[in-house]
Amino acid sequence: MSLKHAILVLLEQEPGSGYDLVQRFNQGIGQFWNASHQQVYQQLKKLHDNKLVDFQTQRQSDKPDKKIYRISANGKTELRDWMSESNNPPVVRDALLIRIFAGHLTDKQTLLDELARHRQLHQNMLEARQAEEARYLNSSKNQQMKMRLPYLTLRRGIRYEREWIAWLDETMMFIESHSLPQSPA
Amino acid sequence: MSLKHAILVLLEQEPGSGYDLVQRFNQGIGQFWNASHQQVYQQLKKLHDNKLVDFQTQRQSDKPDKKIYRISANGKTELRDWMSESNNPPVVRDALLIRIFAGHLTDKQTLLDELARHRQLHQNMLEARQAEEARYLNSSKNQQMKMRLPYLTLRRGIRYEREWIAWLDETMMFIESHSLPQSPA
DNA sequence: ATAGCCATGTAACCAGTTACATGATTGA
DNA sequence: TCAATCATGTAACTGGTTACATGGCTAT
């Protein structure tokens, strides 16, 4: 049940509308938590029912009105309490690895194509995160101080993508240079 | 919808009961796909309804009877088709990273304790996987040939855990040696 | 006795995805 | 005219978790 807390963290950082939160989920923090707008709006409603956030409607002439949510005193208490709880690492469920595991059921090229596709995706993610890192490293000492902890999570993202790419390269090389054990069709 | 295919892969490898599959999910393949017995039994029922597996009941004198499931011809076709599909990398949702991101809401020691706890968990996983790797490397050339592709996924698991430990060490060191930006209570 | 393994299941619930819905403004 | 951005929502469904349930055998 951490979407709740992810939202509270974002609102603690800076108030915003559901729409704003979705944008933020698609940026930096999206690398380790993500949510669709449908989920966000419903969760905000629940958080409001539980008095963990409140909002004020902001009228806009050119764009649709929006509700600016902010974390309440109760919300802050809830968040602080949650910070002392613990969660185990999430369970990984990755279809790519099932496919490699059972690679004898298909042909080399199919595997290699899918591996290359994933490599490209991870390469894109890596570059996006490295760009973020560059922005951080070029920001003022003051800004860096403030963003020190988020930066650590960004480091995690960079390491994660790099590790994927390394494994994908190793694996593609291996598959290219070996024949697959072939199962009868 | 890959639990279905994970089960088909396991049954293609070797027939077994729901109970057996759960054991296997808790071993090697569990590192990239996992399922509880409740899920497995229901999924087997569905797979049977869809004629992708069949089973025969095996009576046992000392232990409860069991249903030995095996993949059907339809199941194999389904699996082969699925092998040519593709999935994007799974979205990561990790509460630990939210906590680090929002570390200013708690104290250094709370963060360090949770990081150390995770380090221990990853260390345990790493050791388990390295033991598996040693078993693989000590097996016959023949066996190694057969398990070549599963071995690649094991490598992924080892790299993954090692990467986590490296980040955790880096992060703990950083947090130990810096004061946290403190938010007003 | 008590715990752990073997073996199978149902039911309720929660989290997340997909589909459907509306409507104004701006830029190509 | 078509797509994109801003802005908010409901409803149905799927995948996964937690809780509940049964019952014999074996080893401490």
Candidate ranges A10-14, A23-27, A176-180; pick with highest mean pLDDT: A10-14
Are the C-beta atoms of residues A98 and B2 closer than 8 Å to each other?
yes
Q: Give CB contacts under 8 A, 24+ apart, made by A140-146.
A: A145/B181, A146/B181
Asked whether the beta carbons of residue B80 and residue A106 sit closer than 8 angstroms, the reply is yes
Name residue B157's amino acid. Answer: G
Of B109, B89, B149, B154, the C-alpha closest to B128 is B154
Residue A33: pLDDT band by 50, 70, 90 thresholds? very high
Residues 58-87 of B with CB within 7 A of strand D: 62-64
Q: How far apart are CA A172 and CA A177, in angstroms?
A: 9
Nucleotides of D under 7 A from a protein CB: 6-11, 14-20, 23-26
Tokens of B30: 């569990």
- Beta-ladder partners of A58: A66
**Residue A115, CB half-sphere, CA atoms under 13 Å: how many?**
28
pLDDT in tens, B105-159: 999 999 999 999 999 999 999 999 999 999 999 999 999 999 999 999 999 999 9
What is the per-residue pLDDT across A42-86, written as a single tens digit (0 to 9) for each? Answer: 999 999 999 999 999 988 777 778 999 999 999 999 999 999 999
> Which residue type occupies A72?
S
Segments of A50-151 assigned E as strands: 53-58, 66-71
- In chain B, % of residues over pLDDT 70: 98
Minimum-distance CB partner of A99 among B83, B98, B148: B83
Distance B6 CA to D18 C1' (A): 23
CB within 8 A of B28, min separation 6: which ones?
Answer: B132, B150, B154
- A156 vs B contacts (CB less than 8 Å): 97, 167, 171
**Rounded Cα–Cα distance for residues A141 and A159 (Å):** 24
Q: How far is A65 from chain B (nearest CA, A)?
A: 30
Across the range B2-6, mean pLDDT stands at 96
Looking at residue A137, its pLDDT comes to 97
| Residue–nucleotide distance: B68 CA to C8 C1' (Å) | 13
Which of the residue ranges A148-162, B31-45, B60-74 would you say has the lowest mean pLDDT?
A: B60-74
| Cβ–Cβ pairs < 8 A, chains A and B | 173
Contact B155 A146 (CB under 8 A): no
B96 vs A contacts (CB less than 8 Å): 87, 89
Contact A110 B148 (CB under 8 A): no
Per DSSP, what are the bridge partners of residue B155?
none
Compute the Cα dihedral for A182, B1, B3, B7 and give only its sign: negative
Look up the protein residue whose alpha carbon has the minimum distance to the C1' of C15: A1
Neighbours of A80 (CB within 10 A): 15
